[in-house]
Amino acid sequence: MLTALTYPFMWWALAACLVLAGIHSYLGFHIIKRGVIFVDLSLAQMAALGLAVAILLNLHDYPLANYLFPVGMTLVGAVVFAWLRHLEHRVPLEAFIGIVFATAQALVLLILEHSPSGTEHLKETLVGTIFTVSPATVIKTAIIYGIIGALHFVMRKPLFQITNNPDQARAQGRNLFLWDVLFYTSFGVVVTSSVGIAGVLLVFGLLVIPAVAGVLASDRTGVRLAVGWSFAFFCSVIGLLTAFSLDTPAAPTILTTMAALLVIHGAVMALYRKLARKPIAFTPAHKIAPANLRKG
């Protein structure tokens, strides 16, 4: 299995997984805390819709069009989701997210139905191209994620406040609509860049599964992030090596590896908590040997 590491493309695939795992694990904590688990699938599907429109207009051979169309569609989704927050007390936001996802997927199928290469493009949007990702794409994606990560670090206080306690943020005069537009826009740019590499399914997995692993491990944000990053990268390495050995698609293999290891991780954490809560056995004083009492 380790002979796979003698191939240069494997190192770039690993680098791509490291880049993706870092930003997605962090954003996953926001997504889980906000309770909008499927927003990434929905925005990823909006990005796929943008790519389908570029194919329909015969512009998919132009890299700039291939990037701007998906980004444009995710920006539309970002504004829509931010605007829909005010209806959350009447209809759960997840309901709207599901509607957007299903509609975008239906439109992609309709648009690509008569495209000669539609089936191949549809498959790429699902499983990505990790094994064939180019060094230039990995470097460009790392730069984009670095900029977005820096912006989130600078604005971490309001972003975490709106995620953890939106009522308090509103009471302090923060404009939730504008902050949500900012969050979902940066989120959409990340998802758009990731879908071309990892595909819709693995992007969803990288956002949710490592974050869940971190939440299961600790109540502290820093520990959760560290566990999430470590879990995502470890699973990516194991998944990539397994995919190479079994000659299977990389993204589905990594996703199933993460799901399987999450089950093991959850079982270990449950056992650890059970043992940690186990009461200390009390030994009556009259049953303690006199020699031990003198030592105490």
Per-residue model confidence (pLDDT) at position 80: 85
Per-residue model confidence (pLDDT) at position 293: 45
Per-residue model confidence (pLDDT) at position 44: 80
**Positions of the chain with pLDDT lower than 50, given as ranges:** 280-283, 285, 288, 291-296
Is there a contact between 191 and 51 (Cβ–Cβ < 8 Å)?
no
Per-residue model confidence (pLDDT) at position 264: 94
- Give the list of residues 6+ apart from residue 262 with CB closer than 8 angstroms, or none: 209, 212, 213, 231
Per-residue model confidence (pLDDT) at position 202: 87
Is there a contact between 101 and 38 (Cβ–Cβ < 8 Å)?
yes
User: What's the predicted TM-score (pTM) here?
Assistant: 0.74
Instruction: Give the whole-angstrom CA distance, residue 135 versus residue 6.
Output: 16
C-alpha closest to that of 132 among 48, 196, 204: 196
Per-residue model confidence (pLDDT) at position 2: 65
Instruction: Give the whole-angstrom CA distance, residue 14 versus residue 258.
Output: 15
Q: Which two tokens stand for residue 114?
A: 């008569």
C-alpha closest to that of 70 among 52, 97, 96, 56: 52
Per-residue model confidence (pLDDT) at position 151: 92
Per-residue model confidence (pLDDT) at position 26: 87
**Three-state SS across the chain?**
CHHHHHCHHHHHHHHHHHHHHHHHHHHHHHHHHHCCCCHHHHHHHHHHHHHHHHHHCCCCCCHHHHHHHHHHHHHHHHHHHHHHHHHCCCCCHHHHHHHHHHHHHHHHHHHHCCCCCHHHHHHHHHHCCHHHCCHHHHHHHHHHHHHHHHHHHHCHHHHHHHHHCHHHHHHCCCCHHHHHHHHHHHHHHHHHHHHHHHHHHHHHHHHHHHHHHHHHHCCCHHHHHHHHHHHHHHHHHHHHHHHHHHCCCHHHHHHHHHHHHHHHHHHHHHHHHHHHCCCCCCCCHHHCCHHHHHHC
